[in-house]
Amino acid sequence: MARSQILRYMQEYIADCRNEIISELFGKTSQGKMLRSKLLLAVSGIHEKALRLCAIIELIQSASLLHDDVIDNANMRRKSPSLNALFGNKNAIMLGDVLYAKAFFELSAYENAIAKSVSDSVCRLAIGEIEDVFMAQSFNTNMTRYLQMCELKTAALIATSAECGALLAGLDSQKYRVYGNNLGIAFQIIDDVLDITQDSEVLGKPAMSDFSEGKTTLPYIYLYERANEAQRQELLALFCTPLSQDSIAWLREHLYMYDCIQDSITKAREYAFCALDSIQGENNAHLQEVVNNMIEREF
Ligand code: FPP
Ligand code: MG
């Protein structure tokens, strides 16, 4: 099975570091759904070179989440305590650095176009994270800015996964890059919707943490646009504060009342449609499935 093979390669790369602390810390991290790998393999087909590239991309993804949880001060990741919660920020940052550096060492064995694509996307996702942090300093009402941040923070590595799959298979990489980019934006919008619609049990982290972390995701931008003056003031007062059950209920009620959830899902579906449009004629049924799995998901 592809997933277990990717995990084995990740373990092999970590074992190469020959350091007990790193092995122990890495052992405490849990891997997610490996959507980027599924996408890459759906384009490239399954073979060793592709699976090893997936392991590299998953190491980068894990590194970015280790750092993100420090930045967001998050205590939970994938239904378990985050590494920063278990071992402190310093260890989480340093493990992230090792995963990231080891991934780049392994990447250096790949052809230039693949190495460039991955390294460029990591630069973009780091810039996206900075944008995210800066935007959280005040209530962002600018939808274009939010979408640009999603493109950098999330879509960059997803676009690269599709592009690298195409480069490995000798397909038109530009088409697949556009596909991955649109899919990545749709994915982040759905992620932001699920933060509101799902409970913490399903999410594996506290529900509605985005808004208390200062992130005005698409549903909140719609709510700000549509609310009356009194509701706007209430919304602004709740921004970036620890939310009580009553505040969560108020936010959910108004987000649904003004169709902010439904319209955000519609926006994600528009991006998903653009994704599929860009690979029309590529005759790959898996790619439709990847879009469905990323968009019609519940966590
Ligand atoms: C999750 O966002 C975070 C990202 C998609 C990117 C994080 C990128 C960095 C920290 C840059 C550093 C990169 C490396 C490789 C060391 P989120 O907080 O919206 O999602 P969440 O709810 O899953 O936490
Ligand atoms: Mg986060």
pTM: 0.96
Report the pLDDT value the prediction gives residue 78, as an integer from 0 to 100.
87
- CA dist 173 and 86 (Å) reads 41
Instruction: Say which ligand is closest to the CA of 73.
Output: 2
Report the pLDDT value the prediction gives residue 47, as an integer from 0 to 100.
98
Say yes or no to pLDDT of 285 above 90: no
- CA dist 22 and 91 (Å) reads 9
The CB of 131 under 6 Å from ligand 1? The reply is no
Q: Is the dihedral of CA 29, 33, 36, 42 positive or negative?
A: positive
Pair (163, 77) in one structural domain? no
For residue 42, give the nearest of 158, 166, 151, 154 by alpha carbon.
Answer: 166
CA dist 271 → 13, 151, 178, 274 (Å): 35, 11, 11, 5
Residue that finishes a domain, picked among 75, 109, 143: 109
Say yes or no to pLDDT of 168 above 90: yes
**Atom of ligand 1 at shortest range from CA of 72:** 18
Percentage with pLDDT > 70 across the chain: 100
φ, ψ (nearest 5 deg) of residue 81: -60, 140
3-state SS, residue 75: coil
Q: Per-residue confidence at 293, pLDDT binned at 50, 70, 90?
A: confident
Q: Helix count (H) and strand count (E) of the chain?
A: 16, 2
Pair (24, 45) in one structural domain? yes
Query: 81 pairs with which residues across the strands?
Result: 76
For residue 26, give the nearest of 101, 96, 73 by alpha carbon.
Answer: 96
Interval between CA 64 and ligand 1 midpoint (Å): 5
Mean pLDDT (the chain, rounded) = 96
Q: How far is C-alpha 61 from the chain's CA centre?
A: 8
Taking CA atoms only, the protein residue closest to ligand 1 atom 23 is 65
Pair (164, 281) in one structural domain? yes
**Atom of ligand 1 at shortest range from CA of 66:** 10
Taking CA atoms only, the protein residue closest to ligand 1 atom 2 is 68
The CB of 72 under 6 Å from ligand 1? The reply is yes
Per-residue pLDDT of 184-222, as tens digits, reads: 999 999 999 999 999 988 888 888 999 999 999 999 999
Report the pLDDT value the prediction gives residue 1, as an integer from 0 to 100.
81
Report the pLDDT value the prediction gives residue 251, as an integer from 0 to 100.
98
Report the residue among 57, 67, 68 best suited for mutation to probe ligand 1: largest number of ligand atoms under 8 A from its CB: 68
Q: Per-residue confidence at 79, pLDDT binned at 50, 70, 90?
A: confident
- 206-212: long-range contacts (C-beta < 8 A, 24 or more apart)? 206/76, 207/248, 208/243, 208/248, 208/251, 208/252, 209/72, 209/74, 211/238, 211/239, 211/240, 211/243, 211/251, 212/240, 212/241, 212/242, 212/243
Residue that finishes a domain, picked among 78, 109, 140: 109
The CB of 187 under 6 Å from ligand 1? The reply is no
Domain residue limits at 261: 114-298
- CA dist 205 and 203 (Å) reads 5
Pair (101, 118) in one structural domain? no
Pair (105, 118) in one structural domain? no
Report the residue among 83, 84, 129 best suited for mutation to probe ligand 1: largest number of ligand atoms under 8 A from its CB: 129
* Residue 110 DSSP label: S
The CB of 67 under 6 Å from ligand 1? The reply is yes
Interval between CA 96 and ligand 2 midpoint (Å): 14
Say yes or no to pLDDT of 262 above 90: yes
Report the pLDDT value the prediction gives residue 198, as an integer from 0 to 100.
94
Report the pLDDT value the prediction gives residue 163, as an integer from 0 to 100.
98
Report the pLDDT value the prediction gives residue 108, as an integer from 0 to 100.
98
Say yes or no to pLDDT of 299 above 90: no
Report the pLDDT value the prediction gives residue 9, as an integer from 0 to 100.
98
Report the pLDDT value the prediction gives residue 297, as an integer from 0 to 100.
84
Pair (174, 274) in one structural domain? yes
Report the pLDDT value the prediction gives residue 94, as an integer from 0 to 100.
98
Report the pLDDT value the prediction gives residue 184, as an integer from 0 to 100.
98
Pair (151, 72) in one structural domain? no
- CA dist 140 and 278 (Å) reads 30
Average pLDDT over residues 269-275: 96
The CB of 125 under 6 Å from ligand 1? The reply is yes
Pair (274, 132) in one structural domain? yes
Interval between CA 287 and ligand 2 midpoint (Å): 27
Taking CA atoms only, the protein residue closest to ligand 1 atom 13 is 64
Instruction: Say which ligand is closest to the CA of 192.
Output: 1
What total of structural domains would you count in the chain? 2
Strand blocks (E) in the chain: 76-77, 80-81
| Backbone conformation region of residue 203, classed left if phi is above 0, alpha if psi is from -120 to 50, else beta | alpha
Q: Per-residue confidence at 298, pLDDT binned at 50, 70, 90?
A: confident
Report the pLDDT value the prediction gives residue 40, as an integer from 0 to 100.
97
Residue that finishes a domain, picked among 56, 82, 109: 109
What's the CATH code of the domain at 47? 1.10.600.10
Pair (19, 59) in one structural domain? yes
Q: 275 is written with which tokens?
A: 């994704």
Pair (104, 125) in one structural domain? no
Average pLDDT over residues 35-55: 97
Identify which has the larger pLDDT, 133 or 284.
133
Interval between CA 72 and ligand 1 midpoint (Å): 9
Q: Per-residue confidence at 263, pLDDT binned at 50, 70, 90?
A: very high
Say yes or no to pLDDT of 45 above 90: yes
Cβ(231)–Cβ(251) below 8 Å:
no
Pair (98, 143) in one structural domain? no
Percentage with pLDDT > 90 across the chain: 90
Report the pLDDT value the prediction gives residue 183, as an integer from 0 to 100.
97
Cβ(204)–Cβ(79) below 8 Å:
yes
Pair (98, 118) in one structural domain? no
Average pLDDT over residues 144-167: 98
Average pLDDT over residues 230-253: 96
Q: How far is C-alpha 96 from the chain's CA centre?
A: 16
Report the pLDDT value the prediction gives residue 200, as an integer from 0 to 100.
86
Report the pLDDT value the prediction gives residue 206, as an integer from 0 to 100.
84
Q: Which helix (H) or strand (E) holds 225?
A: helix 218-226
